[in-house]
Amino acid sequence: FLYFLEQEYFRGHRAGTPVSVIIFEMRVKTGIKDVICEPLPTSALNQAVLRITSAKRHNDMLAHYEGFDYALLCPDTDTDGALIFCDRLVKSLSKDALSPSIKPENLSLSFGIASVPGDFMELGLMLSAAESARTYSVDNDQPVVAYRDMI
């Protein structure tokens, strides 16, 4: 993921086009009052990946990102475009159950978005900003958060 991120960053820099990174987590709410969030079971994760893959563009890249998180690299996409895309993903993932054991209302989705040049000009800062936005999304129970909207 980091290799392709760097390649798209330099390509966008030369061409003057934006690049967005979306870091997200998909969890299942369990426990008393649904306060514990656990990773998706394999069957639900497979279904989620199918839905994301069908919604993304051919040049967008879906990747595993640390532990149980995921990332999307979206070339030629500014923050506004990434927000629209994430809203579509939230609707797609929570419309129908991902597996028989998971109800859509028990699904916890948290997306954090950062863009170059919208938020930063440096690659490392953009990745940290997307992580911060995802953390803000989790902490404030907002499914989609752009870094620019946090500050």
- For residues 62 and 56, the answer to whether their CB atoms sit within 8 Å is yes
pLDDT in tens, 77-108: 999 999 999 999 999 999 988 888 888 888 88
Closest CA to 101 of 58, 54, 50, 38: 38
Position with higher pLDDT, 100 vs 113: 113
Percent of the chain with pLDDT over 70: 95
Q: What is the mean pLDDT of residues 132-151?
A: 91
